[in-house]
Each structure stands twice: as C-alpha cells, then as structure tokens.
C-alpha cells in the first residue's frame, strides 16, 4: 500500500505547488494555459471557462504551469482581454509568480501542522505532581497539587512555560517571588536559591530540583518485536499504573518498569478490552540473571492537561515549522558538502508515509507537512529548471536591465532538467539497492 500512499501524497503536494503558481499568475493578470500535475500523456484533463487546461499525467514526479508568452507559440491574446504576456511582466511580477509555488508548499505545511496542533495538541498545566524525595530545600514549601500562577509577576500558562520562566528569572536574580493557588486560596512565597542550585536549574531545568507535573502511570507507545513485553501480552496504548503495588506517579517511578527484578506485578488499564473490563492485572516473572529487557517504549501519562488555544497552536506551529526548516537546511548543507550522501528516495519515502498513515491521521498529516516543506525549500535552490533558478535569472535580468533571449532560456532549462534527472536517477537507484 505504500506505493498508493506515496503517489497520492506526492500528487497533492505537487498540485498545491502548481496551484500557487497559477494563483499568482492570475493575480498579475497573466493567462495560464496549462496546469499539469506530472509529465507525459494526460490521464485526466479538463479545460475550465478561463481557458486553462488542468491535467493529471501518468508520471507524477513533478509538474508545471504553462503561461501565455509573446511569440512563444505563435498564439496571440485578444486585444479586448485584460490579460498580458508573462515575458512582458515586471521583475517583481515574475518573481512573485516564480516564488509562489515554493511558498504555497511552505504555507500548506504550516496549515497542516496548525490543524493537527489545534485539534490534538494540549499543554500540561503548571500544577505540581508528587514531590520527589530529591526536592531541593529551596522548594520544600511547595506541595503536591499547588498551581503556579505567576513568577516575579510573569503569568505562567503551562508547565513548559514555568520551566522557561524559572530559568529566565533566575538568570537575572537568585530570588523569586512566586504566587501559587493552593486549594481555594492564593499564597505568595519568596524563594531564594543557592548558587549551586541556581546553576543546576539554569542548565537542566526545574525538574532536576524535584518538581514535576502530575503523572498517572506510563503509556505504552511501542512494543518491540520478540521482547518480553510482547511475550507477556503488552499492547500499544496500555496504561501501566503500578508495578509491584507501587503507584507510578512521578517521573522517577519509570525505573520500576525498566529495572530488572526477580518478579514484577504490572497493573495496566486497557479501556478497549470491553465495556465491563477496563482494568487488567498482568503478573510475570523476570529472572535476575536474564539479559532480556522488557522492550517497551513508554511515555508519562500527564494529568491536568488542557487543549491549546488558537494562539498557542499558532505559536507551537511556528516553532515546529522553524525546527523542520532548520533540519532541512542542515541536511541540504551536509549533502552539498559531502557530509551526508545517503538521501532517502521514493521507496523509503513511500514506506515512511504508509507507516505514518497506519499510526493515525495525525502522524500522516505531520509527515505530509514535512514533505511539503521539503518540496518548497528544495524548489528555492537557485538551480536551472527550479523556481529558485528562475528567480536568479530574473534578478540578473533586472541588474543588467536586459532580458535573455529564448535560446538562452532553452539551454538553461535543458541543463537543469538533465541535472535533476541524473540526481533523481541516482537517488532512485540507491533506493532500489537498499530496498532489495
């Protein structure tokens, strides 16, 4: 099925890219003759009322938008129309059309991430969980279920924000005025940190001081094949709430799951068993001399969660897109310098896309956003036949105050297409070698 998901995903992203070019061209009043997703003979074709032919072609590895240009095909525009030729457009208009495709992919990636973040994203409220035995003396006045309202007058909206504000304020002053909500009353307390503790918080965050959000067990994200966890019947999304009658209510309690002991008694919640049985107790023995690990990938089940607001979803999406952009630029830089030569091809991409779809629509949409972002960034590279290459040509024409002739355009485009063809061919051959 990964071929199906790959082609559907790529087709959608190419369509978004070419649609960006089309919208920009129409905004500058240039007629669009053809929008094609893919190359070669058309699989589907439709001509709309504006005269634009929309095509879905057999080879979906790319696409193009054909604009009306003077003397390019011998066709002329009706003198009564408000449309104009693309090669008679200004530098700003040409650049706008050229860059609209890549930025359409980048904007589309942001929309996808925002959609997932707003619908599924949540924040951990700044409510303290069970205080660890290792809690520092400077914080021993804080108690479980205390909700942090503000620190030095800075409002705290989530546990992550609390960590960030602690660090930023301690960087300026070793003393903090903190307001907490305890039950139905508000309490203010002055916290003075020793230099050693202050350095620990600045370097590693507040959780190293013993403060952590409320936790009710650990969720099983993945059960590794042929592991003890698989052998004893653990399933994805199981909630482990206790081990050997010890409640898992702190981050440190993860050790009860992962350490080796002669016997472990796991209590798990599995809501999907049936309507009557939502609690299941699993008991199994592990020999102390065994080298086998339980083989569970787990994550804390944080309580006191709240959904993101629109603004929080927007900020989170900006952060995610910025992180992905940094990774993409770093990958391109490593590839150019030769630090990385093994780039994933369509087979690998198809496998990843298919797997992300199996994990849920959220993972699939995030994967699609990364691919859309990658397409947008790659098309900004100033190489012939790419949008970035066209933009570079328009800059040179603007500087020299004279357009290049059709022969030059033709040669540059052919060189660019040949270069891209051989690069893609090399990636596909390497992909096939790894796949088989």
Domain C-terminal end among 302, 329, 349: 302
| 319 in a structural domain | no
Dihedral-angle region of residue 292 (phi above 0 means left; psi in -120 to 50 means alpha; beta otherwise): beta
HSE on the CB side for 177, CA within 13 Å? Answer: 4
| 374 in a structural domain | yes
Domain C-terminal end among 209, 224, 258: 209
**pLDDT, tens only, 13-29:** 999 999 999 999 999 99
The lowest-confidence range among 164-168, 211-215, 231-235 is 231-235
What pLDDT does 77 receive?
41
Is there a single domain that holds both residue 205 and residue 221?
Answer: no
What pLDDT does 343 receive?
55
What pLDDT does 23 receive?
94
Averaged confidence pLDDT in the chain: 80
What is the model's pTM? Answer: 0.74
Domain interval for residue 287: 215-302
**Number of Cβ within a 10 Å radius of residue 400:** 9
Residue showing tokens 């060189």: 415
pLDDT band at residue 352 using 50, 70 and 90 as cut-offs: low
- 294-305: string of b/e by CB count within 10 Å (b at 16+)? bbbebebbbebe
HSE on the CB side for 393, CA within 13 Å? Answer: 23
Q: What is the CATH number of the domain that holds 171?
A: 2.30.42.60
Q: Does residue 321 have a pLDDT over 70?
A: yes
Is there a single domain that holds both residue 157 and residue 199?
Answer: yes
- List CB contacts of 114: < 8 A, sequence separation 6 or more: 313, 314, 317
| 345 in a structural domain | no
What pLDDT does 289 receive?
44
Q: Does residue 261 have a pLDDT over 70?
A: no
HSE on the CB side for 304, CA within 13 Å? Answer: 20
Q: What is the CATH number of the domain that holds 274?
A: 2.30.42.10
- List CB contacts of 147: < 8 A, sequence separation 6 or more: 125, 126, 127, 128, 180, 181, 182
What pLDDT does 17 receive?
93
pLDDT band at residue 54 using 50, 70 and 90 as cut-offs: very high
Q: Does residue 164 have a pLDDT over 60?
A: yes
């Amino acid at each position: 099925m990964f071929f199906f998901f790959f082609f559907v995903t790529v087709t959608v992203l190419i369509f978004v890219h070419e649609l960006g070019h089309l919208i920009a061209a129409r905004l500058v009043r240039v007629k669009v003759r053809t929008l094609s997703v893919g190359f070669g003979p058309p699989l589907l074709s439709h001509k709309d009322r504006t005269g634009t032919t929309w095509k879905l072609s057999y080879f979906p590895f790319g696409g193009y938008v054909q604009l009306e240009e003077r003397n390019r095909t011998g066709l002329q525009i009706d003198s009564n129309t408000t449309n104009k030729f693309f090669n008679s457009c200004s530098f700003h208009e040409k650049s706008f059309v050229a860059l609209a495709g890549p930025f359409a992919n980048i904007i589309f990636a942001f929309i996808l991430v925002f959609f997932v973040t707003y619908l599924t994203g949540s924040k951990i409220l700044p409510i303290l969980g069970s205080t660890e035995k290792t809690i520092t003396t400077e914080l021993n006045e804080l108690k479980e279920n205390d909700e942090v309202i503000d620190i030095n007058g800075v409002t705290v909206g989530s546990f992550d924000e609390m960590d960030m504000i602690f660090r930023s304020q301690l960087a300026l002053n070793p003393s903090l005025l903190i307001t907490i909500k305890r039950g139905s009353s508000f309490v203010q307390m002055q916290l003075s940190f020793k230099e050693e503790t202050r350095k620990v918080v600045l370097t590693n965050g507040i959780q190293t001081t013993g403060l952590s959000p409320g936790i009710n067990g650990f969720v099983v994200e993945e059960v590794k094949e042929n592991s003890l966890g698989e052998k004893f019947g653990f399933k994805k999304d199981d909630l482990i709430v206790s081990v050997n009658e010890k409640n898992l209510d702190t981050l440190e309690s993860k050790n009860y799951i992962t350490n080796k002991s002669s016997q472990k008694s796991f209590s798990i919640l599995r809501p999907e068993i049936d309507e009557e049985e939502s609690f299941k107790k699993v008991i199994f023995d592990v020999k102390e001399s065994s080298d086998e690990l339980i083989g569970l990938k787990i994550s804390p089940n944080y309580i006191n969660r709240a959904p993101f607001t629109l603004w929080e979803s927007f900020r989170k999406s900006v952060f995610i897109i910025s992180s992905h952009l940094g990774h993409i630029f770093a990958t391109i830089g490593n590839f150019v310098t030769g630090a990385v030569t093994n780039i994933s091809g369509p087979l690998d991409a198809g496998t990843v896309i298919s797997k992300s779809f199996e994990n849920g629509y959220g993972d699939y949409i995030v994967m699609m956003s990364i691919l859309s972002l990658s397409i947008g960034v790659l098309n900004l590279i100033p190489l012939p036949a790419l949008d970035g290459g066209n933009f570079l040509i328009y800059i040179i024409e603007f500087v020299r105050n004279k357009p290049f002739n059709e022969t030059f355009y033709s040669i540059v485009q052919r060189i660019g297409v040949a270069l891209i063809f051989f690069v893609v061919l090399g990636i596909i051959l390497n992909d096939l070698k790894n796949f088989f």
